[in-house]
């Protein structure tokens, strides 16, 4: 169940990179892929997996490139697509940006990488950290004897030995992103919170970390959360570095972290949470061509918290003319290319309500060509620092290394708007 080859193509289908692993899908299949893709695009039936004459094409698009795996076997679909995303991450790690230009400039390294991430079509290692152990970006550094992949030799595959920092620091961000869908009649159709403990470690040696969370979370992870007012966490996932057995036994999260940024833990809350920012938009049609929006935005969290960088995207018809806006707080600008009015509020304290009024007209001819398609939903971006929906709290974060250095832990909390959609009437 292996891949036959990996292609990187530009959007026209020109081959930028081609690494053949099995020799059963030649380079000219890139053309077939693009032809087939265009066919499907025209029919409106594009999917990330295309099967054509015994060859399967699995691809992801990234900026102006296609990353494509071809195979003649019944490969593991999810795994191959995920592999492509990991490959993208590897390239981004190496070249900062992944685009045609950066690939052409670095294509020898790109080939070296392709040689290591897969062997004969089987994924091997895709952690950029490990790969950089033996594929150096700066070619001259290669004069120094390249070490073979260390990580392969020890059990801690995500961290290599011999890392040194002058200042040992570790940053922990507790990030919760709220997805919300509200129907045009104001009922919450779906709401969920995706949480993550994002770490960035700059620690020397092989540090042993211990993380303590508040009891509530831990009890819930065990499935015995109190019935009342607790928020139920579902599907807690840990990074592979966490010793899950320890967690099961005494509920400590202990681990040797990878170097740099990674997600230590992720979780999901799917029970209905009160929408943190509520937006109501009343549309008044004064005449065939004149329309007015009356928008109310309300913050529904405690007063001691405050949302910042709130952006409310109010969709307008594509042919709206000269919108005029008045807002009780913040600024609102018409952005024609997004076909929306963007209402920005720098600071939005809890328990407040702001108003906006927008008037615009439509070309009278167009207005008569009813019906319009449904307007896209109102979208909201926001950040609420020092606040989590779940109530998760970090009690302690200890770092112990045999050299005995003191590491500084930094912890932040933030809740952001994710897929936050409110349908217009």
User: 138 or 403: whose CB is closer to other proteins?
Assistant: 138
- By CB under 8 A, residue 11 contacts other proteins: no
- By CB under 8 A, residue 268 contacts other proteins: yes
Candidates 159, 163, 121, 158; CA nearest to 23 is: 121
Which whole-number Å values give the CA distances from 244 to 239, 247, 394, in the listed order? 10, 5, 18
Distance (Å, whole) CA 412 – CA 184? 35
Task: Give, in degrees to the nearest 5, the angle at Cα 106 between 102 and 107.
Answer: 110
- By CB under 8 A, residue 379 contacts other proteins: yes
Contact 388, 176 (CB under 8 A): yes
- By CB under 8 A, residue 115 contacts other proteins: yes
Contact 195, 174 (CB under 8 A): yes
- Window 32-71: contact mask with other proteins (x via CB under 8 A): ------------xxxxxx-x-xx-x-xxx----------x
- Shortest Cβ distance from residue 401 to other proteins (Å)? 22
Phi then psi for residue 423, to 5 deg, are -75, 145
Residues 154/155/158/164 CA torsion (nearest 10 deg)? -50
- By CB under 8 A, residue 254 contacts other proteins: no
> Which residues are paired to 311 by β-bridges?
344, 381
Interactions with other proteins, residue window 292-321 (CB under 8 A): none
- Shortest Cβ distance from residue 108 to other proteins (Å)? 6
Interactions with other proteins, residue window 184-213 (CB under 8 A): 184, 189-190, 192, 194
Distance (Å, whole) CA 42 – CA 45? 8
- Shortest Cβ distance from residue 404 to other proteins (Å)? 28
Contact 41, 114 (CB under 8 A): no
User: 318 or 351: whose CB is closer to other proteins?
Assistant: 318
- By CB under 8 A, residue 223 contacts other proteins: no
- Shortest Cβ distance from residue 40 to other proteins (Å)? 10
Distance (Å, whole) CA 191 – CA 228? 20
- By CB under 8 A, residue 155 contacts other proteins: yes
The residue from 100, 173, 208, 263 that contacts other proteins (CB under 8 A) is: 263
- Shortest Cβ distance from residue 421 to other proteins (Å)? 6
User: 14 or 395: whose CB is closer to other proteins?
Assistant: 14
């Amino acid at each position: 169940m292996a891949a036959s080859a990996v292609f990187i193509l530009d959007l026209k289908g020109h081959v930028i990179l081609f690494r053949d692993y099995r020799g059963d899908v030649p380079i000219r299949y890139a053309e077939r892929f693009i032809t087939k893709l265009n066919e499907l695009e025209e029919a409106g039936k594009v999917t990330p997996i295309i099967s054509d004459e015994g060859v399967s094409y699995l691809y992801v698009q990234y900026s102006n490139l296609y990353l494509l795996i071809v195979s003649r076997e019944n490969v593991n679909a999810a795994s191959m697509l995920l592999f492509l995303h990991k490959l993208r991450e590897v390239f981004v790690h190496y070249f900062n940006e992944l685009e045609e230009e950066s690939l052409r400039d670095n294509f020898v390294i790109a080939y070296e990488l392709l040689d290591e991430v897969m062997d004969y079509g089987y994924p091997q290692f895709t952690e950029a950290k490990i790969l950089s152990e033996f594929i150096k970006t700066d070619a001259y550094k290669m004069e120094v004897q390249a070490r073979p992949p260390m990580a392969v030799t020890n059990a801690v595959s995500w961290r290599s030995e011999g890392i040194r920092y002058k200042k040992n620091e570790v940053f922990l961000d507790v990030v919760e992103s709220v997805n919300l869908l509200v129907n045009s009649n104001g009922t919450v159709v779906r709401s969920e919170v995706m949480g993550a403990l994002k770490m960035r470690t700059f620690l020397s040696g092989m540090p042993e970390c211990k993380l303590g969370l508040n009891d509530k979370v831990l009890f819930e992870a065990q499935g015995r959360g109190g019935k009342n007012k607790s928020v139920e966490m579902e599907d807690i996932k840990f990074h592979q570095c966490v010793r899950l057995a320890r967690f099961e036994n005494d509920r400590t999260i202990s681990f040797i972290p990878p170097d740099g940024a990674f997600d230590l833990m992720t979780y999901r809350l799917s029970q209905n949470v009160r929408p943190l920012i509520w937006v109501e938009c009343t549309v008044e049609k004064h005449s065939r061509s004149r329309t007015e929006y009356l928008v109310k935005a309300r913050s529904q969290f405690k007063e001691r918290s405050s949302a910042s960088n709130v952006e409310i995207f109010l969709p307008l018809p594509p042919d709206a003319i000269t919108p005029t806006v008045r807002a009780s707080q913040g600024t609102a600008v018409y952005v024609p290319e997004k076909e929306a009015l963007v209402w920005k509020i720098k600071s939005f304290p809890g328990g407040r309500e702001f108003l906006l009024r927008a008037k615009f007209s439509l070309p009278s001819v167009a207005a008569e060509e009813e019906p319009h398609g449904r307007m896209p939903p109102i979208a909201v971006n926001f950040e609420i620092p020092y606040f989590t929906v779940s109530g998760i709290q970090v009690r302690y974060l200890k770092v112990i290394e045999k050299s005995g250095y003191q590491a500084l832990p930094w912890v932040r909390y933030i809740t952001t708007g994710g897929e936050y959609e409110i349908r217009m009437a």
